[in-house]
């Protein structure tokens, strides 16, 4: 049981890793010529420094490895807003937003910290009159389990100058662990487990955008007689024990101001809540390593995890 709780903690922790930050006053502006493609090495360094100064992030400028610029409608007034993405090394990427101001760009806000961004795009949300920023974000973790995951995160700009998270879901998961690590009653060191999830995403755009996620999940076990000090098994040494397919439908809700799976009633408080994520839908459930817990949002915007038994659909 101790092992199961740790895995769920890591899932919850990574889902909201890319939280938004407050606006910080800027002292200089980015010029239009500095964003012309291809961006010169000198301008990339300038942009990286500008992002650090504006966001207040404390990364070392010398670690900036790559600078990418995206144009889109972020604040709802022009489709020429700019997102500057700066990679400061493994699992350390910052996204800053700017809006045109004559021949220059003024800092809008810090979208957040991310892992490694593989793709950034814009999804129109007509009810807001602006686009949602969609970030495909990958992480590589070796805490509690050898885990690689890719997350899909959505953010919208708020009038107070922050970027609010309105969508977070897994896009790919591969996790490998040995149950002896956190369960002292297990004597068999060959108790290797592996879960995987690969998804197909489909956006249906309209007055209220919808995201359909087809999750293909498998659970496998490692070979007998393989001790921990033999290192982890190769993929081909695992034997698949079970598989399943789950369809998750995330719909934009004007009422909740975000993408939700469903609405439910909290039996304990009697209030209506939005269902954001169900942990038993993760591939860890195939390995009996996920608890019956659901992530919800309350009417006041509070997000928390509650037992499934508390929710009435």
Answer yes or no: is pLDDT of 25 > 60.
no
19: left (phi over 0), alpha (psi -120 to 50) or beta: beta
> pLDDT of 33-92, one tens digit each?
898 888 899 999 999 999 999 999 999 999 998 999 999 999 988 778 999 999 998 789
> pLDDT of 145-173, one tens digit each?
688 999 999 999 998 889 999 999 999 99
**What pLDDT sits at residue 234?**
85
Answer yes or no: is pLDDT of 14 > 50.
no
Q: Give the lowest-confidence range in 6-15, 142-151, 304-313.
A: 6-15
**What pLDDT sits at residue 20?**
43
pTM comes to 0.86
Cis check: omega of the bond before 38, within 30 degrees of 0: yes
Name the more confident of 234 and 20.
234
Q: What's the whole-number average pLDDT of the chain?
A: 87
Q: Give the lowest-confidence range in 111-115, 117-121, 175-179, 225-229.
A: 225-229
Q: What percent of the chain has pLDDT over 70?
A: 85
Answer yes or no: is pLDDT of 245 > 70.
yes
Q: Which residues contact 278 (CB under 8 A, 6 or more apart)?
A: 261, 294, 295, 308
**What pLDDT sits at residue 52?**
96
Beta bridge mates, 304: 296
> pLDDT of 78-135, one tens digit each?
778 999 999 998 789 999 999 999 889 999 999 999 999 999 999 999 999 999 999 9
> pLDDT of 253-270, one tens digit each?
999 999 999 999 999 999
Name the more confident of 61 and 10.
61
């Amino acid at each position: 049981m101790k092992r199961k709780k740790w895995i769920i903690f890591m899932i919850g922790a990574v889902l909201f890793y890319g939280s938004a930050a407050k606006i910080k006053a800027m002292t200089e502006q980015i010029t239009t010529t500095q964003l012309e493609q291809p961006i010169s090495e000198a301008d990339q360094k300038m942009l990286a420094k500008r992002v650090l100064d504006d966001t207040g992030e404390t990364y070392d400028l010398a670690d900036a490895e790559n600078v990418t610029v995206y144009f889109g409608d972020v604040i709802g007034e022009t489709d020429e807003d700019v997102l500057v993405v700066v990679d400061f090394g493994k699992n350390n990427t910052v996204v800053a937003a700017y809006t045109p101001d004559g021949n220059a760009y003024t800092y809008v806000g810090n979208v957040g910290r991310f892992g490694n961004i593989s793709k950034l795009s814009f999804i129109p949300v007509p009810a807001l009159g602006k686009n949602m920023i969609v970030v495909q974000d990958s992480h590589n973790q070796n805490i509690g389990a050898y885990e690689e995951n890719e997350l899909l995160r959505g953010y919208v700009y708020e009038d107070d100058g922050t970027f609010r998270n309105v969508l977070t879901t897994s896009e790919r998961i591969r996790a490998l662990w040995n149950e002896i690590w956190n369960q002292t009653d297990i004597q068999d060191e060959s108790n290797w487990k592996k879960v995987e999830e690969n998804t197909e995403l489909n956006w249906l755009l309209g007055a209220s955008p919808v995201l359909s996620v087809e999750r293909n999940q498998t659970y496998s076990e490692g070979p007998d007689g393989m001790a921990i000090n033999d290192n982890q098994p190769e993929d081909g040494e695992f034997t698949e024990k079970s598989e399943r397919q789950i369809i998750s439908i995330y719909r934009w809700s004007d009422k909740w101001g975000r993408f939700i799976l469903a609405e439910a009633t909290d039996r304990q408080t009697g209030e209506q809540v939005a269902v954001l994520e169900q942990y038993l839908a993760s591939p860890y459930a195939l390995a009996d390593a996920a608890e019956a817990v659901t992530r919800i949002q309350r009417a006041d915007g509070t997000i928390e995890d509650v037992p499934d038994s508390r929710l009435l659909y």
